[in-house]
Amino acid sequence: MSDTTTASPSGASVAFAQWLPRIEAVVIPLAALLGGLLVFSVFLLVLGKSPVDFYGLIYKAGFSTPFSWQNTLSRVSPLLFAALCVALPARLGLVVIGGEGAIVLGGLAAAVLGTMLIGAPSTLGLLVMAIGAAGIGALWIGAVGWMRFKRGVNETIASLLMAYIAIALMNHFVEGPFRDPASLNKPSTAPLPDSLRVGDMPIGIEVHWGFAVGVLACVLAWVLIDRTTIGFAARIAGDNVRAAQVQGLPVGKLIIGFTALGGAFAGLAGFFEASAIHGAANGSLVAGYGYTGILVAFLARHNPLAIIPVAILLAGFEASSGLIQRRMDLPDATILVMEGIVFVVLLFSETLYGKIAVFDPKFWGGRA
């Protein structure tokens, strides 16, 4: 004991040592991102295209002018919610990939509730629609958690298959009971009145409130996971279910609660799609955001705060896809290839944690 006290480093270097893992958690993904882009540059060179032009266009289309920011940020909202639907269950060790289903049903629920609320005060109407959308999303993904806990059904497969059921249900209701007879060639629910449409934020570019609510949701999810006992219990259960059960943690409630919360967020994505973008529910709700959300969550390593910048970056990539098609004569899948390469390099970088000397306190003369 006396040995450790005498060799103990100064207060400043203790703080430094504490920060090392955090620096590591930022530097490694960033390096992986750059590494991925570098690998992709080789791919471009092989095709005879200039990487400089390519990344220049991404900057131009996604991040240069107010319109570029509008193009990028207007795509972010559903990605934030969809990523939370993956990240929250992931803290319990569950891989849920069927957020798409909750998004689609959330959009349907919001639009259908909206048609019943015509004439209601705007705030009340929107609140009911949002709660309905979150509720159906929570039920849908919560059911996946319930099946996992009660019946041991694999949550990955179950959530994916339930997404197909959700889409089929949405099609059935939109083309059947809730179809607006005036929607001839594109079956839709009745159009929402202006008072039940979510508007844009007053920031000068056309980005609807879903962005702000999505960011807020990410922050709240981070607080829940990192700053509450519930989140702590969830992380324990995620690391070792048996140990958690032995400790008397309510594993079942945690599993169902976290999946339901993730589903509720995905449902909100549907609410904003129906209310801010489409003004009705129809087949266009099936836009694949639930699947892009998986990529966002994994890139963010299931950290809700990291989801925000990652979603913005990915949205910027997708915003630039069109300009790249038009200017460089590359197919639209180019951006997907780039995202795929970045994803693979990032997964590979997971193996680097704890293996790079500079992130080890010993490297700086301290003791591990």
Tell me the window of 130-138, 148-156, 195-203, 261-269 that interacts with other proteins (CB under 8 A): 195-203
Minimal distance in Å, beta carbon 283 to other proteins?
Answer: 7
Per-position x/- string for 301-340, each x denoting binding to other proteins as judged by CB under 8 A, each - no binding:
-----------------xx--xx-xxx---xxx-------
Question: CA of 341: how far to CAs of 58, 259, 346, in Å?
Answer: 16, 29, 8
Phi, psi of 96 (to 5 degrees): -100, 120
Within positions 156 to 185, which residues make up the interface with other proteins, using CB under 8 A?
Answer: 168, 171, 175-176, 184-185
For other proteins, the closer of residues 278 and 302 by Cβ is 278
Beta bridge partners of 208: 200
For other proteins, the closer of residues 6 and 185 by Cβ is 185
Q: Find, among 109, 177, 167, the residue nearest to 138 by Cα.
A: 109
The binder of other proteins chosen from 56, 250, 340, 366 (CB under 8 A): 56
Give yes or no for a contact between 298 and 86, defined as CB atoms under 8 angstroms apart. Answer: yes
For other proteins, the closer of residues 2 and 185 by Cβ is 185
Q: Find, among 349, 145, 108, the residue nearest to 256 by Cα.
A: 145
Tell me the window of 69-77, 138-146, 250-258, 360-368 that interacts with other proteins (CB under 8 A): 69-77
Minimal distance in Å, beta carbon 206 to other proteins?
Answer: 7
Site residue total, other proteins (CB under 8 A)? 54
Q: Find, among 54, 33, 58, the residue nearest to 330 by Cα.
A: 54
For other proteins, the closer of residues 155 and 339 by Cβ is 339
Tell me the window of 5-13, 26-34, 68-76, 138-146 that interacts with other proteins (CB under 8 A): 68-76
Within positions 72 to 111, which residues make up the interface with other proteins, using CB under 8 A?
Answer: 74-75
Residue 211 contacts by C-beta under 8 Å, 6 or more apart in sequence? 73, 74, 76, 77, 80, 201
Residue 45 contacts by C-beta under 8 Å, 6 or more apart in sequence? 51
For other proteins, the closer of residues 117 and 260 by Cβ is 117
Per-position x/- string for 205-224, each x denoting binding to other proteins as judged by CB under 8 A, each - no binding:
xx------------------
Within positions 256 to 285, which residues make up the interface with other proteins, using CB under 8 A?
Answer: 273, 277-279, 282-284
Judged by the rule CB under 8 A, the positions of this chain that interact with other proteins are 53, 56-57, 59-61, 63-71, 74-75, 168, 171, 175-176, 184-187, 194, 197-200, 202-206, 273, 277-279, 282-284, 287-288, 318-319, 322-323, 325-327, 331-333
